[in-house]
Amino acid sequence: MDKKTVTTISYLSRLKIDPEKEEKITNDLENIIKFVDQLNDAETSDIEPLTNPLEKTAKTRTDQVTAKNLKKELLEIGPSSNEDYFLVPRVVE
Amino acid sequence: MIWETVIGLEIHAQLSTKSKLFSGGSTKFGAESNTHVDLVDMGLPGVLPVANKEAFYKAIKFGLATGAQINQISSFDRKNYFYPDLPKGYQITQMTKPIVEKGSIKVSTENGEKIINITRAHLEEDAGKSIHDLFEGETGVDLNRAGTPLLEIVSEPEISTAKEAVAYFKAIRQLVTFLDICDGNMAQGSMRCDVNVSIKKIDDKELGTRAELKNINSFKFIEKAINFEIERQIAVIESGESVVQETRLYDSDKNETRSMRSKEEANDYRYFPCPDLLPVVISDKELNEIKDNLPELPEEKQNRYISEIGLESSEAKIISSSKAMADMFEEASKKTDDAKMIAKWLVGDISALLNKENIEIDESKLSPENFGKLIKRISDNTISGKIAKSVLEEVWENGNDVDEIIKAKGLIQIQDESLLEQIAIQVLDSNPDQVAAYRSGKDKLLGFFVGQVMKETQGKANPKSVNVILKKILS
């Protein structure tokens, strides 16, 4: 885990890191990874990868529309909106 | 240098479920903005997604129809990226265990039939819609589409030309519409595709670096975008540079592709299993039920039309080419005993009208009931085939009822033999020279007399009866 990786991850996750704390965070992350890395010592070649720790399968829905029109309420909880849309700073491709 | 093109397609087909993949929000197209948004689609804290079983069933239909492996246990993963129309900050998709793997489809190309293999088809949710051009300095977000189920169909890189890519897309579209799992409406974005294009020297074993062309939604643009991209890549390589792996946007106005989004450098989706969703299991019983109820596919229809109804193979092919056409044929045939005549009209006059307006038959004003009625009125001698053409034209314009048109315009065929006789005598009397010529052996003139009678009756006589009557008088 180097500083460059930390910068990339912080950009990807849109989490701002205080430059003063960069070194500490890098070290902390490094330690976390070392800790988790112990798992690599376990012999897993005969074991199917697990997608979920619960030994259960999903409950599913039937195909029915149950949602109400909550347009007004939902737009209100957005940080910025007008009567029809959520508004965000202009995104140009 | 001879270059070989290698193309792979990722087709997104919107599954025609009523509700979304993980919520009870409606998927109906064209609703007022942000009215079909459930709390799950919003990604609000504390909500949990629950998978819509119907989306699985539809995906399985596709798998069965392409001879694919159906994974009865499939799971969901998160694909992480930030974009305002993706409220959760990740898309739920099937990365590691897709519902469908390893299928194939037969495609008709210029060089005959070709089998294109399908790597996988997996379920995923669609994003919302960003509106860039409506507000000064801001982007509007409509989340109606967020969470709509998509089937992403990924082909092997086995397509060699732009035309072949279009043929493959058409074959997939035909299949999903016949299976009734997607409406195939490209204008509404129900089917879109990303195209991976690369070129390599003809002897090279390794594939070249590919560019991905995003979100193309018409057959014409697929072909143009690929052809532009092939030329571009050849020019890049021949000038000594190398192709960069990137996403490119096709601009249909300028007919060019150009590099897209600066975020490409950080294109790391960090897939991981979605902790909110358990694996979904499809039982043998469910699978068998879907198998037993799989609708008739184009090729089967075509064969049945030939062997059971007795259509010409060319007719059967045209009629089974689209779901809308096949539906029209089968529905209209129920209204009359003469399916062959229905086919003749569909392939003839009606196809001509469709081509002229460049529309599909379900976009026209002709209903199967009305069409069946029109053919019935020909076979029960109410109107002649010629009059039927003019009735069809009017139906095509305004969709009015066939019987109403016939009644209102007084088009009913003249059944009264004595009236026809009267008209025939009139015609013969006013053409004495031709009558004399006919009697001296010019048999062909009979056609002229028939034509004159038809003209006098404004097409309302039955040409066969006129023929008989004229012969009787002239003999």
C-alpha span between B364 and B360 (Å, rounded): 7
Q: B216 and B129, same structural domain?
A: yes
Task: Average the pLDDT over B413-441 and give the result.
Answer: 85
Distances (CA, A) of B34 to B6, B57, B413: 41, 28, 57
Distances (CA, A) of B216 to A82, B156, B184, B189: 30, 18, 14, 9
Cα B322 from chain centre: 6
Q: B87 and B221, same structural domain?
A: yes
Q: Is residue B371 a part of any domain in this protein?
A: yes
- Token pair listed for B315: 């007719």
Domain stop point among B373, B408, B443? B408
Q: B193 and B122, same structural domain?
A: yes
Q: What does pTM read for this prediction?
A: 0.82
Q: B323 and B273, same structural domain?
A: no
Domain stop point among B254, B285, B316? B285
CA atoms within 13 A on the CB side of B432: 0
Collapsed DSSP state (helix, strand, coil) of residue B415: coil
Q: B179 and B234, same structural domain?
A: yes
pLDDT (tens digit per residue) in B238-260:
898 888 888 888 888 888 888 87
Domain stop point among B285, B314, B338? B285
**Residue from A25, A41, A68, A88 nearest B128 by CA:** A88
Strands (DSSP E) found in B167-217: 191-201, 211-216
Q: Is residue B347 a part of any domain in this protein?
A: yes
pLDDT (tens digit per residue) in A55-89:
788 899 999 999 999 999 999 999 999 999 999 99
Angle (CA) B300 B301 B305, round 5°: 120
Q: B84 and B9, same structural domain?
A: yes
A residues 20..39 contacting B (CB < 8 A): none
Q: Is residue B384 a part of any domain in this protein?
A: yes
Task: Average the pLDDT over B169-191 and give the result.
Answer: 94
**Residue from B405, B343, B404 nearest B375 by CA:** B343
- Give the ipTM: 0.85
**Closest Cα in chain A, distance from residue B164 (Å):** 30
Give the domain range for residue B171.
3-285
Task: Check whether B309 has a pLDDT greater than 60.
Answer: yes
pLDDT (tens digit per residue) in B282-304:
999 999 999 999 999 998 999 99
B248 chain-A contacts, CB cut-off 8 A: none
Helix H or strand E segment including A19 = none
Q: B462 and B383, same structural domain?
A: no
Q: B115 and B17, same structural domain?
A: yes
Q: B438 and B388, same structural domain?
A: no
- Token pair listed for B177: 């519409």
Residues facing residue B382 across a β-bridge: none
**Residue from B464, B439, B436 nearest B450 by CA:** B464
Q: B313 and B166, same structural domain?
A: no
Q: Which residue of B has its CA nearest to A91?
A: B139
Query: How high is the pLDDT of residue B473?
Result: 86
DSSP conformation class of B382 = S
Q: Is residue B330 a part of any domain in this protein?
A: yes
**Residue from B317, B324, B347, B350 nearest B185 by CA:** B324
For B261, counting Cβ atoms within 10 Å of its Cβ (0-12 exposed, 13-18 middle, 19+ buried), the class is: middle
Task: Specify the higher pLDDT residue, B294 or A49.
Answer: B294
Question: Does the beta-carbon distance from B140 to A87 stay under 8 Å?
Answer: yes
C-alpha span between B457 and B231 (Å, rounded): 63
List chain A domain ranges: 1-40
C-alpha span between A81 and B11 (Å, rounded): 33
B140 chain-A contacts, CB cut-off 8 A: 82, 84-87
Give the total number of structural domains in chain B: 3
Q: Is residue B291 a part of any domain in this protein?
A: no
Q: B194 and B57, same structural domain?
A: yes
Query: How high is the pLDDT of residue B265?
Result: 53
Question: Does the beta-carbon distance from A74 to B37 stay under 8 Å?
Answer: yes
